[in-house]
Structure 1
Amino acid sequence: MTTLSELGEFGLIARVTAGLKQGGGVVVGTGDDCAVLRLGNGLLLASCDAFIENIHFKREWASPRDIGWKAAASALSDIAAMGGTALYVLATVGSPKDSDALFVQEVCAGIAESVEACGAALVGGDMTGSPGPLILDIAVLGEVSGGRYLARSGALPGDLLAVTGYPGQSAAGLLALIHGIDAPPLIQAHLRPEPRLAEGRWLARQPGAHAMIDLSDGLLQDLGHIAGRSGVGINVDSDLVPMAPALNGFESTISQPLESLTLSGGEDYELAVALDPADAESLCAAFAAEFGHPLTVVGFAEQGWTGIRLDGQEAGQRGFDHFGAI
């Protein structure tokens, strides 16, 4: 018998999706942040994300509205990863029958607040009982603007890989909650992430942008998905990965290097994008001028091998795996 911990989250996904038949209207099926579906003359984006108590959140660390906000934000980030516009959200809530009704109402209010902040509409869902923890499942629908989306599979040899903002802040916020460290900006980054929807649409409009993904499982892990889908090798230079000002001095309060947070910490919901090297410098400058936070080159793609390397060496533990050791 092979256990899930031996197979891993992504090994299981590969098994259950192998050989799935796709209909004629499927432009992009399994293996990306969203399915891309042909609908009339347009393209529909569809995705869903589960959010499970004691896996994705703990009640003692988050208000019910924070829980709902983050559940919706993590799902909406998949639309951002394709460069799309979020339109509609459906939410499933499963809770034990002896739960505080007001608590569940506030979770739902947080979902609605997050959806509204992204310009989308909460249009339905399902309420069900749960014998165990609180379970949320968020389905999102969006559209492709201008007929162009960015998938994970478009990176080319020679492309430069860049990341928006500052990865690692959410993981630092989680450590702050675990250890009782007073770090409001980092805790806010963990509890109330903001999907990069406008940034994703802007990047999708740029001809020099070739592939994109959102950072849910960590920079190395998610760049590895681009590498795998694109059939390229990606080298990441750890010295190039930007460090958030809020992380200054944080290393002295925890028992691990900040690099482990910026490279492998998940749930930042920043975007990583593959750029034509001829356009990368101008795109990074234009992005910073447009949004007020950086787009930073952190590595490059090459042919001849597939996977992810850090400073020229094979990367070890790269990020979150639901059935892995972390």
Structure 2
Amino acid sequence: MTEFGFIEQIRRLFAPIPDQGFEGIGDDCAVLPLAGGEALVFTADLLTEGVHFLRHATSARELGGKSLAVNLSDVASMGARPVATLLSIALPRDAAQSWALEFIEGYRTLSERYSTPLVGGDTTRSEAGITINVTAIGRAPLTHLKRRRDARPGDVIFAAGELGASGAGLRDLLAGRLDTPLAALHRNPVPQVDEGVWFGSRPEVHAMMDLSDGLASDLRHILDLSHVGAEIDLEQIPVAAGSDLQTALCGGEDYKLLLTADTASAERLTAEFRTRFGTPLYPIGRITSEAGLTWLRNGRPEPHDWQGFSHY
């Protein structure tokens, strides 16, 4: 069973149970509308030793920050600002003392940066490696929330940063090159929290998510839920220095925002983003009414079976 086949089974099994007002499975966060036009969003993410990180290649402090960062990125991708987190962690004996304290220091540093308190969680013993689960809660006006299902034919597709640096950094780590700049970047992702809130306030932005598994996989979630297709201009992909095109499309863990926006407002959005954040917003393609993902080079289709990270 694939990851998304399993998720679909879960969706079907729970469909008869009343949703209690929640918008559930499908986006980076579940949504709970509140009185007064506000909403809370909720997300949870797991990091497992040997799958998501190598303890010998990642310091406890770095892992504490990364565990939080990947969840804040999910909140930002909805156009919301994070307001609190919960942390659950299973630790083996050799990580239950100084390692655990350093982990919490890293988690606290990023929490302080984004004014996001840790308000609860759980700890337990592990007999086989470290497992970390973070639940992040965000808040935003309901009208500011961005969902994967809202892309429209004609929209411009944007990436809010360069791609492939984290994938190239992972390649360095696996080769034993632990002290390269790209390896450090892979271990220390920066969630686009302020950018996500800003995009949430922009009505011309329609669909949005963060890039965790690689554009080649993540974009398909927007296409499937919006019942649209896309054309991606390969020469427009913002490949990070030290990476390559395939890694930029398939490597994952860049945690940059991927969004679609009305074509009539695209130039203004790009210019105002650069003014606000000092970095480019990269147009990489367009949404089409015909289903499917088409890779273009100089306007001509190229057949590629590119896929991002698979959890199973």
Q: TM-score w.r.t. structure 2 length?
A: 0.93
Q: Aligned match of 2:77 in 78, 81, 91?
A: 81
Q: Aligned match of 1:33 in 15, 28, 32?
A: 28
- Which aligned pairs between 1:219-230 and structure 2 lie closer than 5 A? 219-230=215-226
Matched, 1:319 2:308: yes
Q: Aligned match of 2:118 in 115, 122, 134?
A: 122
What code does the residue aligned with 1:321 have? S
CA-atom RMSD in angstroms: 1.7
What code does the residue aligned with 1:322 have? H
Corresponding position of 2:184: 188
C-alpha deviations, 1:267-317, integer Å up to 9, x for none? 111000001011111111111121111111111111132x32222356413
The alpha-carbon deviation at position 184 of structure 1 amounts to 3.8
- Which aligned pairs between 1:1-326 and structure 2 lie closer than 5 A? 7-19=1-13, 20=15, 21-26=17-22, 28-41=23-36, 42-145=38-141, 147-181=143-177, 184-244=180-240, 247=241, 250=242, 258-305=244-291, 307-311=292-296, 312-313=301-302, 315-323=304-312
Assess, with a 3 A threshold, how the Cα gap between structure 1 residues 185 and 128 changes in structure 2: closer, same or farther: same
Specify every segment of 5 or more residues in structure 2 that has no aligned partner in the other structure, as ranges: none
Q: Is the 8 A contact 1:65 1:106 kept in 2?
A: yes
For 2:147 and 2:33, the matched residues in 1 are separated by: 15
Count matched residues.
305
For 1:48 and 1:148, the matched residues in 2 are separated by: 21
The alpha-carbon deviation at position 181 of structure 1 amounts to 4.1
The alpha-carbon deviation at position 243 of structure 1 amounts to 2.3
The alpha-carbon deviation at position 68 of structure 1 amounts to 1.0
The alpha-carbon deviation at position 95 of structure 1 amounts to 1.1
What code does the residue aligned with 2:81 have? T
SS of 1:279 mapped into structure 2: helix
C-alpha deviations, 1:56-84, integer Å up to 9, x for none? 10011111011111111011111010010
SS of 1:150 mapped into structure 2: coil
Indicate the percent of aligned positions where both proteins have the same amino acid: 36
C-alpha deviations, 1:186-235, integer Å up to 9, x for none? 22321111110110111111111000000000012111111011110011
Corresponding position of 1:3: none
For 1:314 and 1:128, the matched residues in 2 are separated by: 48
For 2:167 and 2:151, the matched residues in 1 are separated by: 27
Q: Is the 8 A contact 1:145 1:201 kept in 2?
A: no
C-alpha deviations, 1:79-119, integer Å up to 9, x for none? 01001010000000101235341111211222222222222
What code does the residue aligned with 2:24 have? G
Q: Is the 8 A contact 2:57 2:178 kept in 1?
A: no
Assess, with a 3 A threshold, how the Cα gap between structure 1 residues 98 and 263 changes in structure 2: closer, same or farther: closer
SS of 1:119 mapped into structure 2: coil
For 1:120 and 1:272, the matched residues in 2 are separated by: 23
Q: TM-score w.r.t. structure 1 length?
A: 0.89
For 1:322 and 1:115, the matched residues in 2 are separated by: 27
Specify every segment of 5 or more residues in structure 1 that has no aligned partner in the other structure, as ranges: 1-6, 252-257
Q: Is the 8 A contact 1:25 1:39 kept in 2?
A: no
Q: Is the 8 A contact 2:61 2:104 kept in 1?
A: yes
The alpha-carbon deviation at position 318 of structure 1 amounts to 1.4
What code does the residue aligned with 1:309 have? T
